[in-house]
A = this chain, B = another copy of it.
């Protein structure tokens, strides 16, 4: 099967799991139920879930554990978007091409839906590690805690939110992206390897790949914010400038941002080469690079059109 067909199959499998892993009990309050149902119907690209699933399988974790972990990471990510879009944060109108949950069901329902995703995500991570050796469980759950918590995602999100009021030495878009964006990419790339008992050297290579990809991804996202309209990428555009949020494309310029993505992706490819050399089943990581290149090419074209 070619890479595109493989990708489509994987996506539809993970999409089904994304919906099925959080069944709504009878008697669920209608606003909370509505916000969750809409969220589960729009899983987005699920790139984190796909990466986590394929890495876990490549390192020999069972399909069931791999799928549970993949969906858990996607739930954590989706919850972070629900929070991020609230009026008190980015005040977004659109997520994944549809009106935000807080717009349709109210802020309270959006918050409670995000918490339901988080509660379920922890339970799925737990199912993933149940019965594994205690030291593997501890390593995995410790990694999860540190990258989701105040040393990781939450601090990045807070720096992003209070950017304009931060003192100079904290106003470093790269360190903010490390917390806000790299944390979740790390969970997608490294956590499955840790739980599947990869060698420390392999986990380190994946960790560096996560940093290069995460920073590229954030730069691409910043470029999208600057170059695209609402209708193109399914979320509210040009928010960073309005809200005085860190945006690399605004800080270093548009061509420099494309160069930076290129440089980071090349560094990532070196990590992939070393990983595949040791473990050929990780060759799928090259496909992700190809998809990413396609996104960059599309965006680059849009940028030129916009500039012209």
Judge if A122 is at the interface, Cβ distance under 8 Å. yes
CB of A119 within 8 A of CB of B154, answer yes
Q: Name the B residues within 8 Å of A204 (CB-CB).
A: none
Given the interface pairs A25-B150, A120-B149, A130-B138, the reply to whether A158 lies near B31 with Cβ below 8 Å is yes
Contact with B along A140-163 (1 / 0, CB 8 A): 011001001111001101110110
Q: Taking the complex as formed, is A189 at the interface, i.e. its CB lies under 8 A from any CB of chain B?
A: no
A166 within 8 A of B: yes
| Complexed CA–CA distance, A88 and B89 (Å) | 13
Q: Contacting A116 at CB < 8 Å: which of B24, B116, B149? A: B149
Q: Could you say which of B28, B131, B137, B155 contacts A130, with CB atoms under 8 Å apart?
A: B137
**Interface 1/0 per residue, A92-116 and B, CB below 8 Å:** 0000000000000011110110011
Nearest opposing residue in chain B for A122, CB measure: B122
Of A24, A118, A142, most B-chain CB atoms within 10 Å: A118
Asked if A18 CB lies within 8 Å of chain B CBs, one says no
Rounded to whole Å, the gap between the CB of A183 and the closest CB of chain B is 12
Does A241 make an interface contact (CB < 8 A)? no
Q: What does DSSP make chain A's interface, helix, strand, loop or mixed?
A: helix
Interface hits, A1-36 → B, CB 8 Å:
22, 24-25, 27-32, 36
Interface string of A204-222 (1 = CB under 8 A from B): 0000000000000000000
A71 contacts chain B at the CB level, 8 A cutoff: no
- Give the shortest distance, in Å, between A63 (CB) and chain B (any CB): 20
Partner of A111, one of B88, B106, B123, B149: B88
Chain B nearest CB from A253 CB (Å) reads: 27
Q: Does A126 contact B (CB under 8 A)?
A: yes
Q: When A29-B170, A30-B162 are in contact, do A24 and B150 touch as well, CB less than 8 Å?
A: yes
Q: Are B141 and A134 in contact (CB under 8 A)?
A: no
User: Is A86 at the interface (CB under 8 A from chain B)?
Assistant: yes
A155 touching B108, Cβ below 8 Å: no
B111 and A32 form a contact (CB under 8 A): no
Interface residues of A (CB under 8 A from B): 22, 24-25, 27-32, 36, 83, 86, 88-89, 106-109, 111-112, 115-116, 118-120, 122-123, 126, 130-131, 134, 137-138, 141-142, 145, 148-151, 154-155, 157-159, 161-162, 165-166, 170
Shortest 3 CB-CB contacts between residues of A and residues of B: A88-B107, A29-B158, A32-B158
- Would you list 9 pairs from A and B whose C-beta atoms are within 8 A, ordered by A residue? A25-B150, A25-B155, A29-B155, A29-B170, A30-B162, A88-B111, A112-B154, A122-B145, A126-B126
